[in-house]
Amino acid sequence: MRVLVTGAKGFVGRNLCEALKAIRDGKDRRERFQVLLPLEVMECDIETTADELDGMCAKADFVFNLAGVNRPQDPAEFMAGNFGFASDLLAALERHGNACPVMLSSSAQASLVGRYAGSAYGESKLAGEGLFREYSERTGSPVLIYRFPNLYGKWCRPRYNSAVATFCDAIANGGEYTVNDPSVELELLYIDDLVAEMLSALLGEEHRCGYDGLEEVEGEDFCTCHPTDHVTLGEIVSLLESFKASREDLMVPSLTDGSFSKKLWSTFESYYAEGSRAYPLKANCDDRGSFTEFLRTSDRGQVSINVSEPGITKGNHWHHSKWERFLVVSGEASIRLRRVGLDADGKPFPVDEYRVNGENPMVVEMAPGTTHCIENLSDTKDLVTVMWANEPFDPQNPDTYFEEV
């Protein structure tokens, strides 16, 4: 399979090309993509010559036309950059008798309804759609026209045509930004979801639809990508600010698979400038070692790192509802647990002991109502333990009660 990608150095083109090259190079081994091999990725961008493009068009098996102009100084450049290049591309394919499938990246603005009425950019995109339809009718070549909403994700250029990219860059790096109306709602499509759809299209598994204005309806005239999210500017900024604050309060929001917050945080992390990807944590130290909280969540507990000096025992306490998991990652430990209270004979319950070490990972659970401790069995080396608790520590309700194991 020989795939031509125009606009290869743009936001969408770069993400698509990297995904294609991962398949080409055997780094993406998912079975469904193996039918594309051997795969050749032909990248076309602004510096590609007309002769080079012509040669690519002669042998392409599939074309992703992602080239276009978004913010020219002169609005007349919209038509030249979006309609004009598409004309040259299709002419080259037709000249070589190449009726391979061609994908066109159009825009919701091509609807020319509502706030998009009179948009020079939308008019150029609509003209491009017409050009592709005429080409398909004339040559029999399949065309796949996608009307994208607002796109976001890694490598999107800030202060250009994406509010999300602009906010991400500013908040991550302490820059200034303005939100004129927090109630403005955007329809957003995540770049990885879009790339997944384009790879499906390459396999002949595109999703089809029609449009009534901006509303998606049943039909075959267009292609579509799901899911999208409808989010206000205020909600976007609030989430981004919480992501930045997590370096201090350690809180992690809901990251449910497919959720907008999960996709937005992945996007946000890609905007930190070089040299600012590390941040300090507060280590609570005493003569026994240290305890450092790493992550907190509102509904899935907290993760901490515990370091115990040689020969030190920590713990000797229990909880009513809180429970924990201990994982020793370096050193050797004795973890002892005992059910609180007395058995039927009025005697203390037996001690349950586990010998664990960092070379043979084993998780030990501290159940509610069970007093527990962890002892460093080494005379010379620190003991390092990853500790997860089912709830973040609350100083107003610590649920921690001293009792020797």
CATH of 2-245, one of 3.40.50.720, 2.102.10.10, 3.30.70.20, 2.60.40.10: 3.40.50.720
CA 189 centroid distance within chain = 12
Mean pLDDT of 14-34: 97
Class of domain 283-402: mainly beta
Of residues 85 and 396, the one with the higher pLDDT is: 396
pLDDT in tens, 335-350: 999 999 999 999 999 9
Residue 53 φ then ψ, to 5°: -60, -40
Query: What does the chain come to in residues?
Result: 405
CB 109 within 8 A of CB 125: yes
pLDDT in tens, 26-35: 999 999 999 9
Q: What is the largest CA-CA distance in the chain?
A: 95
* Distant-in-sequence, close-in-space partners of 334: CB < 8 Å, separation ≥ 6: 353, 354, 355, 374, 375, 377
CA 83 centroid distance within chain = 32
Give the CA-trace dihedral at 355, 357, 361, 362, to 10 degrees. 20
352's tokens: 């349950």
In one-letter notation, the amino acid at residue 258 is G
pLDDT in tens, 222-266: 999 999 999 999 999 999 999 999 999 999 988 999 999 999 999
CA dist 187 and 369 (Å) reads 49
Q: Which of 259, 7, 4 is nearest to 155 (CA)?
A: 7
pLDDT in tens, 349-383: 999 999 999 999 999 999 999 999 999 999 999 99
Half-sphere exposure of residue 227, counting CA atoms within 13 Å on the CB side? 8
55's tokens: 């040669």
CA dist 369 and 337 (Å) reads 10
Mean pLDDT of 293-304: 95
Q: So what's the pLDDT on residue 72?
A: 47
218's tokens: 């049943």
401 assigned to active site: no
Mean pLDDT of 165-175: 97
Confidence of residue 120 (pLDDT cuts 50, 70, 90): confident
Domain boundaries, the chain: 2-245, 283-402
Of 116, 121, 146, 271, the active-site residue reads 121
Q: So what's the pLDDT on residue 396?
A: 94
Mean pLDDT of 2-24: 97
pLDDT in tens, 177-229: 999 999 999 999 999 999 999 999 999 999 999 999 999 999 999 999 999 99
